[in-house]
Chain A
Amino acid sequence: MSDSLHRDFIKGTVEIMILGVLMNSDQHGLEIFESIANKSGQRLRVAEGSLYPALKRLEAAGLVESSWRQTARQRRARYYHISDAGKRELERRTRSWSNFAQAMRSVLGDNRAEESLPSGAGHAPIALA
């Protein structure tokens, strides 16, 4: 995979994860980071700062909206909210992602490569950015 293709792939992955966690509630950047980490069982590692370009891309595309609010610690933070267009986009990307995963499984013959790895290696964190 070329560097630019790999970078685009990562960008798309981070964006779909952000939309996914915002389906549950409005969150600020740090909460989004923690939601992704927790939901992935700490297996997907995103550099905290890398969320922001992704959030700005989503906002520029009208997929999320944002506003300043108080956090539980009485600090001001920008909270993100998924828009209706964002919900539709998430549905579309989820479908597309499932098709891609299914196609990969078919091509790879559903080999469970993980089983041949040393114990625990299959759960090593994947750094996304």
Chain B
Amino acid sequence: MRLLPSLEIAPAEIIREVEVELESHIQERADRLEESGMTPREARDKAEELFGDRGHYLLESAAIVLASRLHRAHRQRSRRLAALAAGVTLMASLAGTGAFIVHQERVADRSLAAVETELGTYRGGGGIPLAQEVRFVTVRGKVGNPRVWTLPRTAHVTLREIIYKSGGLIDGAQGQVTLTRYSAGRAQQDVEFSRKDWDSTHGDVELSGFATIEVH
């Protein structure tokens, strides 16, 4: 039984989901235009034109869905962790290990606080910033604090920095990194870095809207 819900959110699936919805809108519009006498090609072109900047709306919508699901997953996880810790602390303190449980809970709180801070701007009444202005970088695997970073597009970030800021390597980690970038719902590239690469060269992270860094 899984005690804590996973925080893994698949950006590619979310983009795909929104993409299907937008395509359904454009196709429905094209059908109507075709019935009004346009050729299929003219109808499709006109439907695309009426829809506007598809890539822009796709990324902005996907960013909103991603932020919302992350927030929900974190809240659920935090609630369950609190309930679990409350129960276990009582037993653990009898065995003299209460401090460990309290430490775990604080770590979870800190992680939640980080995401709350990231998402705070989304709920502040100003709405979600345009997806084009930010990058979502998921760092997961063998780091101290796996998390999703929301980075300004203009920020200069290196692999080394982002891994260290995600809590650094945990015991037993090899330091091998897999970098996957997503574009239009598809994984575009899969780059492998050894620890030597990212630790010594400070390799820059060149990312578009969404990317995942898996640390092994």
Query: Contact between B54 and A78 (Cβ–Cβ < 8 Å)?
Result: no
A11-B127, A47-B52, A48-B51 as given contacts; A75 in contact with B24, CB under 8 Å: yes
Residue of A nearest to B127 (CB): A11
Known contacts A30-B29, A77-B28; is-contact A56 B65 (Cβ 8 Å): yes
Q: Is there contact, CB below 8 Å, between A71 and B28? A: yes
A104 to chain B, nearest CB (A): 20
Encoded as 1 (CB less than 8 Å from any A CB) or 0, chain B from 71 to 86 comes to 0000000000000000
Q: Is the CB of B28 within 8 A of A49?
A: no
B21 CB contacts on chain A under 8 angstroms = 29, 52, 77-78
Query: CB within 8 A of B25: which of A7, A29, A57?
Result: A29
Task: State whether B68 touches A48 (Cβ < 8 A).
Answer: no
A interface residue count range (under 10 / 10 to 19 / 20 to 34 / 35 or more): 20 to 34
A30 in contact with B25 (CB, 8 Å): yes
Residue among B57, B65, B125 having the largest count of chain A Cβ atoms under 10 Å? B57
Query: A8 to B126, alpha carbons, bound, how many Å?
Result: 6
Which partner residue on chain B sits nearest A53 by CB separation? B60
Q: Which of A8, A28, A47, A52 contacts B61 (CB 8 A)?
A: A52
Residue positions of A touching B, CB distance < 8 A: 4, 7-8, 11, 28-30, 47-50, 52-53, 55-57, 59-60, 71, 73, 75-78
B interface vs A, CB < 8 Å? 18, 21-22, 24-25, 27-29, 31, 50-54, 56-57, 60-61, 64-65, 67-68, 125-128
Across the A-B interface, give the 5 residue pairs with the lowest CB-CB distance, nearest first: A60-B68, A49-B57, A56-B64, A47-B52, A49-B52
